Amino acid sequence: MANTDRNQRVDSGAILEGDTLTTGKRAVLGLQHTFTMFGATVLVPIITGMNISVALFMAGVGTLLFHFITKKKVPVFLGSSFAFIPPILAAAAAVAAVNGVAYEAGDAYAEGLAYAQGGIVIAGLVYLVIAGLVQVFGYEKIVSFFPPIVTGPIIMTIGLLLAPTAIDMAQGNWFLAVVSLCTVAAVSIFAKGFIKVLPVLIGLFVGYMVSIMTGNVDFTPFVEADWFGMPPFQMAKFNLEMIMMVAPVAIVTVVEHIGDVLAVGATVEKNLVEEPGLSRTLMGDGLATCVSAMFGGPANTTYSENTGVLALTKVYNPVVMRVAACFAIILSIVPKLGAFINTIPTAVVGGISIILFGMIAGVGVRTVVENAVDFKKSRNLIIAAVILILGLGGAALPVKMGILNFSVSGMALGAIAGIILNKVLPDLE
């Protein structure tokens, strides 16, 4: 049966784990994933004040660590987590305020970031605790909380939540965005052979060439950047108040992690929760986050953008992600290369993201359809409706437990509500 399933997927053109890829193809496919994650990964340090080179270096190291822990079986790239942006800013500002200086003050704010990193390190340890619980009680009990009626809408929410990001990037120059979008679509539909699995890279190339011809590229950052330089690592500092401000976010991101792993599993048509196991993916994500934050990087998380590339290209071989991780490390120590990538207009990436993020939502729809979820049943409609509206509507649930004060919002809130409803609502129809 397994061989039959594999043959069917090979016939569909998918490149699976264990399939042979030449060195050149690995490099090109890996570069495509590097381009895909670059914008979002560097955006987190840009917003929080963390160093971009450190973030790229730790994204690469974290991805390689994740693959080692998950037995090299999960095609995932770990990038900077957006969920930790609010508590990082709050912790850094709090330390600056204690020092009696302005929020933006350099040295005090840098010290604040160091304490925020300490909170992120502890958040990574929370992942390890939950991974241990999964290992003890078994993944089956965890999976029972995620039937298709729950996972489908959760995956849809992951993709749709990214929609405003894609539009914000694209609307800076709709002409460039449309050129890139149409190129990706044309390559995906009409191209043959190896070219067919490079829609994102070709879309970026065409969009970039058009950008140059229309005068929309500023090469100043590239010219001014150095050729070589080690990232300026900064060690984490620990303070209980800062830890309590940052670490509880892990409660939210663990739910997001499970949703992302399910999304990747649905995309590559493998039960990754069973093998290599949810405990291993949680451990990999947690350790990657700990290592990153310890040396000055943001929290790491499984990247939905790269899941979109998987769905689009059908190249599921995990080695491609490891190649992308190596490129990220190279970019971090060659500032000029990173500066060159940063000259790509945001609108070009935005046009491609419209397809990538939409395809993640499409995987959620496929999950519901292929598992024949019956929407004639009121309970199923209610579960899906609550997940989608809470996940997409901007709802936030404040949680106060003693000195703990945080909020659960977005996809995590929708997911938690859906999980509870699935267990509580009876199936009487």
Could you report the per-residue pLDDT of 21-71, keeping only the tens digit for each? 667 777 778 877 777 777 667 767 766 778 888 989 999 999 999 999 998
At residue 10, does pLDDT exceed 50?
no
Task: Say how far apart CA 250 and CA 404 lie, in whole Å.
Answer: 13
DSSP 312-377: HH-B--THHHHHHHHHHHHHHH-HHHHHHHTTS-HHHHHHHHHHHHHHHHHHHHHHHHHTT--TTS
Q: Which two tokens stand for residue 376?
A: 């004639």
Q: 101 in helix, strand or coil?
A: coil
Tell me which of 99-103, 250-254, 332-336 is least confident. Answer: 99-103
Q: Among the listed ranges 114-123, 207-216, 323-332, 348-357, which one has the minimum average pLDDT value?
A: 348-357
Helix axes 23-48, 304-313, angle to 10 degrees: 150
Asked whether the predicted pLDDT for residue 409 surpasses 70, the reply is no
d(CA 352, CA 350): 5
Nearest of 103, 237, 152 to residue 418 by alpha carbon: 152
Q: What is the band of 104 on the pLDDT scale with cuts at 50, 70, 90?
A: very low
Is the pLDDT assigned to residue 106 strictly greater than 50?
no
User: End-to-end CA distance of the chain, in Å?
Assistant: 33
Q: How confident is the model at residue 304 (pLDDT cuts 50, 70, 90)?
A: low
Q: Smallest Cα–Cα separation from 59: which of 290, 292, 320?
A: 292
pLDDT over 80 at 144, yes or no: no
Measured in degrees and rounded to the nearest 5, phi and psi for residue 407 equal -130, 150
Enumerate helices (H) and strands (E) in the chain, giving the number of each: 20, 4
For residues 327 and 221, the model is more confident at: 327
In total, the chain counts a number of residues equal to 429
Beta-bridged to residue 301, according to DSSP, are 79
Q: What is the DSSP letter of 404?
A: E
Contact 145, 405 (CB under 8 A): no
Q: Which of 255, 226, 258, 297 is nearest to 58 (CA)?
A: 297
The pLDDT, as a whole number, for residue 292 is 94
Burial class (CB in 10 A: 0-12, 13-18, 19+), 67: buried
Instruction: Judge residue 5's burial from the number of C-beta atoms within 10 Å of its C-beta, 0-12 exposed, 13-18 middle, 19 or more buried.
Output: exposed
Q: Give the pLDDT mean for 130-145.
A: 80
User: What mean pLDDT, rounded, does the chain reach?
Assistant: 78
Closest CA to 322 of 26, 50, 35, 41: 26
More confident residue, 197 or 33: 33
pLDDT-derived band at 294, boundaries 50, 70, 90 = very high
Q: Exposed/middle/buried for 1, CB within 10 Å: 0-12, 13-18, 19+? A: exposed
Stronger pLDDT, 111 or 64, i.e. the higher one: 64
Which residue(s) pair with 80 in the sheet? 300
Would you state the structure tokens that stand for residue 274, as one six-digit string?
């069973």
- Which pLDDT score, from 0 to 100, does residue 47 have? 63
Residue 1 pLDDT: 42
Domain boundaries of the chain, sorted by first residue: 12-424
Contact criterion met (CB below 8 Å) for 327 and 109: no
pLDDT-derived band at 252 (thresholds 50, 70, 90) equals low
Task: Of 14-23, 114-123, 143-152, 387-396, give the range with the top mean pLDDT.
Answer: 114-123
